[in-house]
Amino acid sequence: MSEIRAVITGIGGYVPDYALTNKELETMVDTNDDWITSRTGIKERRILKGKDQGTSVMATKAVEELLRKTRTSPEQIDLIICATTTPDMIFPATANLVADNIGAKHSFGFDLQAACSGFLYGLVTGAQFIEAGTYRKVVVIGADKMSSIIDYQDRTTCIIFGDGAGAVLLEPTQEPYGLRDSHLRSDGSGAPHLHLKAGGSRRPATVETVTAREHFVYQEGAAVFKYAVKHMADVSADIMKRNQLHAEDIDWLVPHQANKRIIDATAERMGIGYDKVMYTIHKYGNTTSGTIPLCLWDYESKLKKGDNLIMAAFGGGFTWGATYVIWGYDGKAS
Ligand SMILES: CC(C)(COP(=O)(O)OP(=O)(O)OC[C@H]1O[C@@H](n2cnc3c(N)ncnc32)[C@H](O)[C@@H]1OP(=O)(O)O)[C@@H](O)C(=O)NCCC(=O)NCCS
C-alpha cells in the first residue's frame, strides 16, 4: 500500500475592507508612492479597524469560508494550528479562540510562532499528524494583525506590513498529491536584526517601554533584505535539486510577500519566469503568516490538480524554509 500523505483540499481567506494606500501613508510619514513602489512593490495594504478586533476575527472568517467551501462541519475538525506573531493575547492561544468561534468542539489547537515562515512551519507540522495516521482533518491558519505592532511614525516599517488571514484544510491521501518535501531552517543569531523589544518576559510592558515605543517591530531593513534574498533563494533551489525538479517542472512559486525584489530574486535563482510567481504584495503588503495562504486563496482558480508548487518563506528569527507541494484539485472549490 502506498504511504499516506497530507494534501491541501481547500483554502479560505480574509482581508479587512480598509485599504491603507501609499497616498495615505504620504500624509502620515515622510515617504512617497514612487519610493514605496520601486523599493517594495507595495501599493496598498489592508488594516483591521475597530475596537477589540484581534487576529482571531480574521482567522475565524478565513476558516468559516474554508469549511463552507470544503463542506466540512466544525465537529469534524481534529486539530487547528494557528501560525501567528500577533495573537489576540499572549494566552490563551488564538487557535482556541477560533475553535470556539466556529464550534470545533472535538478539536484541539495551538499557536505556532515563526514570524513570516509561520505558515510553512504550520503546514509541515500539521502534515506530520496526517502522515502518522493520527488525525484526518487538520486546519492550518496563517494570520496576523501586523498593524497592532507597527509604529505609524516609522517610515521604514509602516509602509511594508498589513493585516490578513488564510487557512487550508489538510486531509490524508494515498494518491500522488500533497506535501512531498520540506526544508525548514532557523538561526537565532538573526534576532538582533528583527524583533519586538518589549512585551515579552525579558522586558514586560512598563510606562517606560511604551514611551520608548518598544512595542513595535524593530527592523534593520538592509541587513534583513540581504539574508532574505540569500536564504529564500538557496532553500528554494535546494528543494528543487533534491526532488530532481527543473525550472520547466515548476508550475508555481508561492513566495512569502515581504518585498517584490526578494521574490523576483528567488524566481531568478530558480530559473522560472515571473508568470509562474504568485504576487499579492501590491495589494496586501506583508501580512507575515498570512502571505502564503492568501496567495493560494487569490490564485486558487488558476491552480490545477498535479501542479508542482514551491512555497518559500523568510522571516524574523531568522526563520526560513521551502516546501514542495503537488496540488490536489482543479480550480476553485465552490
Ligand atoms: C525595508 C526596505 C524596503 C528598505 O529598502 P532599502 O532599499 O533597503 O532602503 P534602506 O533601508 O537602505 O534605506 C535607503 C534610504 O531610504 C530611506 N527610507 C527608508 N524608508 C523610506 C520610506 N518609506 N520612504 C522614503 N525613504 C525611506 C532611508 O532612510 C534611507 O535614507 P538615507 O540613505 O538618507 O539614510 C528593505 O530593506 C527590505 O525590504 N528589507 C527586508 C524586509 C523583509 O524582508 N523583512 C522580513 C520580514 S519578512
188 and 304 both lie in a single domain: yes
In contact, 327 and 306? CB cutoff 8 Å: yes
Residue range 259-274: average pLDDT? Answer: 96
23 and 141 both lie in a single domain: yes
135 and 190 both lie in a single domain: no
151 and 11 both lie in a single domain: yes
* 146 CA → ligand 1 middle, Å: 18
Q: Which three cell numbers stand for residue 79?
A: 486539530
Closest Cα to atom 5 of ligand 1? 39
Count how many Cα atoms sit within 13 Å of the Cα of residue 15 in the half-sphere of its side chain: 27
34 and 166 both lie in a single domain: yes
Atom number in ligand 1 closest to CA 286: 48
Atom number in ligand 1 closest to CA 25: 23
C-alpha pair distances (Å), 321 with each of 59, 232, 326: 23, 7, 17
Last residue of a domain, one of 146, 176, 206: 176
Q: Is the minimum distance from the CB of 40 to ligand 1 under 6 angstroms?
A: yes
53 and 166 both lie in a single domain: yes
Q: List pLDDT tens digits, range 70-90.
A: 999 999 999 999 999 999 999
Nearest-angstrom CA–CA distance, 197 and 213: 9
- Place 190 in a pLDDT band, splitting at 50, 70 and 90: very high
Nearest-angstrom CA–CA distance, 230 and 257: 15
Task: Identify the three-state secondary structure at position 15.
Answer: coil
Number of domains the chain contains: 2
Q: Is the minimum distance from the CB of 207 to ligand 1 under 6 angstroms?
A: no
Query: Which residues constitute the domain of residue 299?
Result: 180-333
Closest Cα to atom 14 of ligand 1? 222
Atom number in ligand 1 closest to CA 259: 39
Closest Cα to atom 12 of ligand 1? 222
Mean model confidence pLDDT for the chain: 97
Nearest-angstrom CA–CA distance, 126 and 77: 12
94 and 213 both lie in a single domain: no
Predicted confidence (pLDDT) at residue 332 exceeds the cutoff of 90 = no
Predicted confidence (pLDDT) at residue 168 exceeds the cutoff of 60 = yes
Residue range 282-286: average pLDDT? Answer: 98
Residue range 250-256: average pLDDT? Answer: 98
pTM for this model (two decimals) = 0.97
In this prediction, residue 147 carries a pLDDT of 98
| Burial state string for 8-46 with b = 16 or more CB within 10 A and e = fewer than 16 | bbbbbbbbbeeebebeebeeeeebeeeebeebbbbbbbb
**Active-site residues: which are they?**
116, 256, 286
In this prediction, residue 331 carries a pLDDT of 83
Residue range 250-274: average pLDDT? Answer: 97
Q: Burial of 110 by CB count in 10 Å (0-12 exposed, 13-18 middle, 19+ buried)?
A: middle
CA–CA–CA angle 130, 134, 135 (5° rounding): 60
Residue 333: how many CB atoms within 10 A of its CB?
Answer: 17
In this prediction, residue 2 carries a pLDDT of 77
What is the domain-level CATH number for residue 269? Answer: 3.40.47.10
In this prediction, residue 333 carries a pLDDT of 62
Last residue of a domain, one of 118, 151, 176: 176
In contact, 169 and 138? CB cutoff 8 Å: yes
Last residue of a domain, one of 176, 204, 222: 176
266 and 148 both lie in a single domain: no
Residue range 254-271: average pLDDT? Answer: 96
Radius of gyration of the chain, Cα coordinates, nearest whole angstrom:
19
Closest Cα to atom 44 of ligand 1? 258
Task: Identify the three-state secondary structure at position 156.
Answer: coil
Q: Is the minimum distance from the CB of 42 to ligand 1 under 6 angstroms?
A: no
Residue 128: how many CB atoms within 10 A of its CB?
Answer: 13
Choosing from 26, 28, 39, 219 the residue with most ligand 1 atoms within 8 A of its CB, the one to mutate for a pocket test is 39
195 and 144 both lie in a single domain: no
Helix (H) or strand (E) holding 101: helix 94-102
- The fraction of the chain above a pLDDT of 70, given in percent, is 99
Alpha helices for 219-322 (secondary structure H): 221-242, 260-270, 281-284, 291-299
Nearest-angstrom CA–CA distance, 156 and 115: 18
Nearest-angstrom CA–CA distance, 13 and 142: 9
Maximal CA-CA distance, the chain: 62
CA–CA–CA angle 168, 266, 11 (5° rounding): 10
Choosing from 156, 260, 319 the residue with most ligand 1 atoms within 8 A of its CB, the one to mutate for a pocket test is 156
In this prediction, residue 161 carries a pLDDT of 98
Predicted confidence (pLDDT) at residue 1 exceeds the cutoff of 80 = no
- The fraction of the chain above a pLDDT of 90, given in percent, is 98
226 and 169 both lie in a single domain: no
Predicted confidence (pLDDT) at residue 334 exceeds the cutoff of 60 = no
170 and 216 both lie in a single domain: no
Cα 160 off chain centre by: 14
**What crossing angle do the helices spanning 221-242 and 260-270 adopt, rounded to 10°?**
30
- Place 133 in a pLDDT band, splitting at 50, 70 and 90: very high
Residue range 155-164: average pLDDT? Answer: 98
311 and 165 both lie in a single domain: no
Cα 298 off chain centre by: 13
